[in-house]
Amino acid sequence: MYSSGQALPFLTYCRRRTIAQEETRISRYLIPHRKEIFATGVCVLIAVGINLYLPYIMRLIIDGLKEKTLDQPALIQLLSTYFLLGVVSVVFSRFLRKIPLKLSHKVEYALRSDVFGHLTQLDQEYYRGERTGDLMTRMSSDINIIRDSIGQGLLQGIRTLAVLIFASIVMALTDPGLAWLVFSLYLPMVGIFFLILRKMRRQQKDLQEHVSEVSNFCQESFAGIRTLKGFALERRRNNQFEELNSDLVKKNMLLQVSRQSLWPFMAFWFSLGMILILNFGGRRIITGELTLGTLTQFIQYLLYMQWPLLALSWTMSMLQRGKVSWIRIREILERESSLECRISNQEPQNSKVDARIQFQDVDLAIQGRTFLKDINLDISAGTTLGITGPTGSGKTLLVSLVARLMDPTDGSVLVGGIDIRNLSLAQLRGMIGFAAQEPILFSRTLEHNIGFGVVNPDKTLIGWAADIAHLRDDVEGFPEQYQTMLGERGVTLSGGQRQRTSISRAIARRPDILILDDVLSAVDTQTEAAIMGKLQPVMKERTTLFVSHRISTLRYADEIVVIENGCITQRGSHNELIRQPGYYSELNTLQQLEEKLEADA
């Protein structure tokens, strides 16, 4: 944004970077929830504590029954304790899950909201460089991974830690020998489990890549069906698909080799643990050094520790993935608009700015390629400028500059004599009604779309705007008139209807500056004439820039410029240009011939 030669701006630039980084630490999203994190810890302590205590009660009962020291009231008392503690444990076991998971969804919400809010502040240049699909992935799966690693990380992380510490203490205090046995069993088990999981992840990735290869192949086959049929390639294509399909089975089976081993492996290992405890503990029971109750207690611990310990390796990889996703999210949050922000939208607006537009020696280059060169224009308030020229000559870019969709590389654009970089974006764009050639409409009601740029639009305004753009008759044919939904779930508009809706949307703002970028290319000549008739008075009241390929439209302009290869090659009124040899008069001849052909038909 700043050249490195200027010392001061460079410093401010650096400072801004550091601030941005602090703003985008994940802790920012966690600190507001510190109470919930603390509560999770408390739940874990209670639930783990009880679960380690219950086997002790079991031991008392078994040993009591064995030694015949237990009478019925004592047994019932122990059972009642067991029951009560069990209920408490179940309750806390629920909160131990509910609190961190709920928290993770709150963070997810806040994060997604922040990222989206930030995205609305980024300019066209950013969106040119990013694919929508990629942004969508970040907004969904990356944020989901971050959420999971927070939720599961808290839940599993705290629990595993608590189980490890407290179970070691309790077991060591009860019987150090058996404690060693249990731990020496779990150590290799967690290790092997970790290895299998890692292998599975790799195979999963491999499989996923192959799956997308298969789906690309299908996509390509269906999209290129004309070519396939035209060259009678179906059989060859089928054979190729068969091969891909076989590989899919192979890759799937490779994954199954690891995946199917998980459960039998764990079950076997547990059996092994069971028999080792029974065997070593059993010998000591026979020699009278150990009671059956203590043995049972250890079997219960073996059982209880299984999941938290296995979750360890899973949680680790979850956190790892969360970190990667967080970096991808941070990239969005730390990105800044390339439009220089001199006046923010919050600052008081420049009082009244009139609608004269000037281009002063404007050059525009995008990624090193020059698109506009030496553009000089002076459009007085209330006049109309027509712009024409071949496809790709830079007409759309020229009008985009007025609305600051990008800034010129050199020179400046002035509105009301003020460089538009010295106006806030909100004020500048608030003055403009913009209609594009391929307009984007939103899947909402027609009314919403027309009143898109107006705060609380009333029905009269919507009706007026629709009428000017010759949309009223179409609307009356729609099932719910102005309340008709557009898009997939509603009415699909024709190209011409879309363009006319976009014109309505632009004029509904009653803007000082009206920009129409080839907005009548998809309507027929009769409708075009009708629209131009109604648009005329509206255009007269404001400064209008319109791009068009049609002489019949262009002739309404006070001045017309022809742009070829980014430069203005001709300028003047319709009557002047028609007499000059050049693009404009060629266009005129061609369209007269076309008219004749149409008239005959």
Partner 1 sequence: MKLAKRLFAYSLPYWRALALALALIVGTSLAINFLPVLIQRMTDQCLMDTARPAGERIDLLMKLSILYISIAAIGHGVRYFQGLLTAWIGQKIIYDLRLDVFRKVLRMQQSYFDQTAIGTLMTRVTSDIERLQHFVTEGIVGTIADLFMLLGIMGYMIYISPALSLAIFATLPFLFAIMFYVNAKLRNANRDIRDRQSRLNALLQEDLTGMTTIQLFNREAATVKDFDQRNAHLRSAYFDEVRWFSLYFPTVEGGQALSVLLILAVGGLLILDGSTAITLGTFIAFLAYIRDFFRPLGSLSDKAGSFQIAMASIERIFTLLDTAEEVSDPAKPVSSDRIAGTIAFNKVWFAYTEENWVLKDISFSVEPGQVLAVVGATGAGKSTIINLIGRFYDIQKGGVTIDGVDVREFGKADLRGRLGYVFQDPFIFTGSVADNISLQTPGINRSDLIRAAKTVNAHAFIEAMPEGYDTVMNERGEGLSLGQKQLLVMARTLAQDPELLFVLDEATASVDTATEMLIQDALAKLMANRTSIVIAHRLSTIRHAHRILVMRHGKLVDQGTHEELMAHDGYYRQLYELLLHSPDQ
In the window 96-115, what residues touch partner 1 (CB under 8 A)? 97-98, 101-102, 105-106, 108-109, 112-113
Measured distance CA(58)–CA(39) in Å, rounded: 29
Per CB under 8 A, contacts with partner 1 among 193-222 are 211, 215-222
Of 490, 540, 550, 479, the C-alpha closest to 514 is 540
Q: How far is the CB of 364 from partner 1 (least distance, A)?
A: 16
Q: How far is the CB of 295 from partner 1 (least distance, A)?
A: 8
When asked if residue 392 is in the footprint of partner 1 (CB under 8 A), the reply is yes
Looking at beta carbons only, is 187 or 218 nearer to partner 1?
218
Contact 263, 140 (CB under 8 A): no
What is the x/- site pattern for partner 1, positions 372-391, by CB under 8 A?
A: ------------------xx
> Per DSSP, what are the bridge partners of residue 432?
513
Looking at beta carbons only, is 11 or 90 nearer to partner 1?
90
Measured distance CA(469)–CA(505) in Å, rounded: 9
Q: Which of 169, 225, 366, 530 binds partner 1 (CB under 8 A)?
A: 225
Of 414, 409, 412, 407, the C-alpha closest to 431 is 414
Q: Name the token pair of 76.
A: 């019932």
Q: Name the token pair of 462.
A: 């919507």
Buried/exposed 145-162: b ≥16 CB within 10 Å, e otherwise: bbbbbbbbbbbbbbbbeb
Measured distance CA(422)–CA(410) in Å, rounded: 16
User: Stretches 193-201, 249-257, 309-317, 318-326: which one binds partner 1 (CB under 8 A)?
Assistant: 249-257
Per CB under 8 A, contacts with partner 1 among 508-537 are 509
Looking at beta carbons only, is 47 or 561 nearer to partner 1?
47
Per CB under 8 A, contacts with partner 1 among 396-435 are 403, 405, 425-426, 429-430, 432, 434
User: Stretches 2-10, 259-267, 347-355, 413-421: which one binds partner 1 (CB under 8 A)?
Assistant: 259-267
User: Stretches 177-185, 193-201, 436-444, 563-571: which one binds partner 1 (CB under 8 A)?
Assistant: 436-444
Per CB under 8 A, contacts with partner 1 among 271-290 are 271-272, 274-275, 278-279, 282-283, 285-287
Per CB under 8 A, contacts with partner 1 among 555-574 are none
Q: Which of 253, 324, 366, 530 binds partner 1 (CB under 8 A)?
A: 253
When asked if residue 139 is in the footprint of partner 1 (CB under 8 A), the reply is yes
Contact 515, 433 (CB under 8 A): yes
Measured distance CA(5)–CA(588) in Å, rounded: 52
Looking at beta carbons only, is 109 or 180 nearer to partner 1?
109
Q: How far is the CB of 152 from partner 1 (least distance, A)?
A: 12
Of 545, 559, 551, the C-alpha closest to 585 is 551
Of 472, 475, 461, the C-alpha closest to 506 is 461
Looking at beta carbons only, is 91 or 341 nearer to partner 1?
91
> Per DSSP, what are the bridge partners of residue 412?
360
> Helix or strand or coil: residue 411?
strand
Per CB under 8 A, contacts with partner 1 among 140-169 are 140
Looking at beta carbons only, is 473 or 586 nearer to partner 1?
586
Per CB under 8 A, contacts with partner 1 among 23-62 are 54, 58, 61-62
Contact 376, 382 (CB under 8 A): no
User: Stretches 157-165, 297-305, 465-473, 477-485: which one binds partner 1 (CB under 8 A)?
Assistant: 297-305
Per CB under 8 A, contacts with partner 1 among 69-98 are 70-72, 75, 79, 82-83, 86-87, 89-91, 93-95, 97-98
The full 3-state SS of 287-336, as one line of letters, equals CCCCCHHHHHHHHHHHHHHHHHHHHHHHHHHHHHHHHHHHHHHHHHHCCC
Looking at beta carbons only, is 117 or 177 nearer to partner 1?
117
Of 145, 157, 136, 133, the C-alpha closest to 108 is 145
Per CB under 8 A, contacts with partner 1 among 449-488 are 452-453
Q: Please, which residues have CB within 8 angstroms of residue 161's CB and are 6 or more apart in sequence?
A: none
Q: What is the DSSP string of 512-556?
A: SEEEEESTTTTS-HHHHHHHHHHHHHHHHTSEEEEE-S-HHHHTT
Q: How far is the CB of 403 from partner 1 (least distance, A)?
A: 6
When asked if residue 298 is in the footprint of partner 1 (CB under 8 A), the reply is no
What sign does the dihedral 534-537-541-546 (CA atoms) show? positive
Q: Name the token pair of 157.
A: 């992380």
